[in-house]
Amino acid sequence: MIQENLYQPFEIEYRECTECPIDAHKHNFFELVYIVEGSGVQCVNKNQLPYSADKLFLVMPQDCHSFEVKDATKFFFIRFNDVYLKNQHKDWIQQLEFIFQNNNHLPGCILKNKSDKPLVKSLIEGLMRELINQQPYHKALSQQIVNTILTIVARNISFQLPEQTRQPGKTEASQNILHYIHEYIYSPEKLKADQIAAHFNISPTYLSEYFKRNNGDSLQQYIMQYKLKLVETRLRYSSMRVGEIADELGFTDESHLNRMFKKYKGVNPSAFRKELQLQPN
């Protein structure tokens, strides 16, 4: 199995392939693959789907993926790692949580919103011009375009969430409460039961009973579970210190996070990160 590495925070590449396949490989970075033209089959973790022009694929770190080229294909690759993300604006990174928390998608075009497809196509064409012409400020401009594409990807994943997360019998009101929690997960004051109840104009007692009935977990259990999933994401894909993660997600202190994470995963955050680093590629 080929393991590819990215030695800079961010890069873009244009590649033309005729009959030769792109063999199965893994890498330690995130990759967006845009099909400029051509057709064939994309394989991600043994799942296969056809690809064609104007499709955009998201490949996560350690996904095993390949492309079987049927008609001569022009690929455009956007690659970035956790260093790139770490250097972006904090609020912008938080808006991309959908990418990290919902990355178990099947292979296939990530663009589900039809109106976004021509927008992404024009942005990719702009990146290609910047790559070819290399005019002043092309790197800064390319980065801004890439950030816009990433935001569009996050939006399209968010469109899929109701179908992915909805359970039989779960009401629209229950979904709205879940989306509220996801939106304000970094604002502890807004996640208090009385604040959520006031937002939805219901009593705190009814909120607790309603949430438990529709989601299985209590309100506070769900909030904690969601926070711990975000902690796991940080440990997997960033170099943030445990104390920084605890502060960002509103834990009392690092020891509080250690205690809750060990209950969630069986090991403390530092041990969990060490285990990830020791795993074979």
pTM tops 0.75? no
DSSP for 154-202, written as a single string: HHHHHHHHHHHH--TT--HHHHHHHHHHHHTTT-GGGGSHHHHHHHTTS
Task: At 215, list the tokens.
Answer: 């989601």
Q: What is the mean pLDDT of residues 239-268?
A: 92
User: Identity (one letter) of the amino acid at 271?
Assistant: A
Q: How far apart are CA 231 and CA 254, in angstroms?
A: 12
Q: What is the mean pLDDT of residues 146-168?
A: 70
Q: Is residue 232 in a domain?
A: yes
pLDDT at 166: 42
Q: 120 and 198 in one domain?
A: no
Question: Taking 80 as the threshold, does the pLDDT of residue 7 lie above it?
Answer: no
Mean residue pLDDT across the chain: 83
Question: Taking 60 as the threshold, does the pLDDT of residue 169 lie above it?
Answer: no
Q: Cα dihedral sign for 255, 256, 258, 263?
A: positive
8 Å CB contact between 36 and 76: yes
User: Identity (one letter) of the amino acid at 26?
Assistant: K
Q: 96 and 232 in one domain?
A: no
Q: 95 and 230 in one domain?
A: no
Q: 154 and 104 in one domain?
A: yes
Helix (H, G, I), strand (E, B) or coil at 152: helix
Which residue, of 129, 163, 197, is where some domain finishes? 163
User: Identity (one letter) of the amino acid at 86?
Assistant: K
Q: 264 and 215 in one domain?
A: yes
Q: 192 and 59 in one domain?
A: no
Q: How far apart are CA 157 and CA 95, in angstroms?
A: 12
Q: 195 and 149 in one domain?
A: no
Q: 70 and 26 in one domain?
A: yes
Instruction: Assign residue 200 the CATH number of its domain.
Output: 1.10.10.60
pLDDT at 80: 83
Q: Is residue 173 in a domain?
A: no
Residues 44-59 as b or e (16 or more Cβ within 10 Å = b)? beeeeeebeebbbbbb
pLDDT at 199: 93
Q: 224 and 96 in one domain?
A: no
Q: Is residue 176 in a domain?
A: no
Q: 199 and 101 in one domain?
A: no
pLDDT at 90: 67
Q: Cα dihedral sign for 216, 218, 213, 211?
A: negative
8 Å CB contact between 19 and 155: no
How many structural domains comprise the chain? 2
8 Å CB contact between 55 and 75: no
Q: Is residue 168 in a domain?
A: no
Angle between helices 269-278 and 219-237 (to 10 degrees): 40
Q: Is residue 267 in a domain?
A: yes
Residue 258 is part of which domain span?
187-276
pLDDT at 224: 94
Question: Taking 60 as the threshold, does the pLDDT of residue 119 lie above it?
Answer: yes
Instruction: Report residue 178's pLDDT band, with 50, 70 and 90 as the boundaries.
Output: confident
Q: Is residue 221 in a domain?
A: yes
Ranges 54-58, 154-158, 183-187: which has the least confidence: 154-158
Q: List Cβ neighbours of 228 (8 Å cut-off, separation of 6 or more).
A: 260, 261, 264, 265
pLDDT at 163: 45
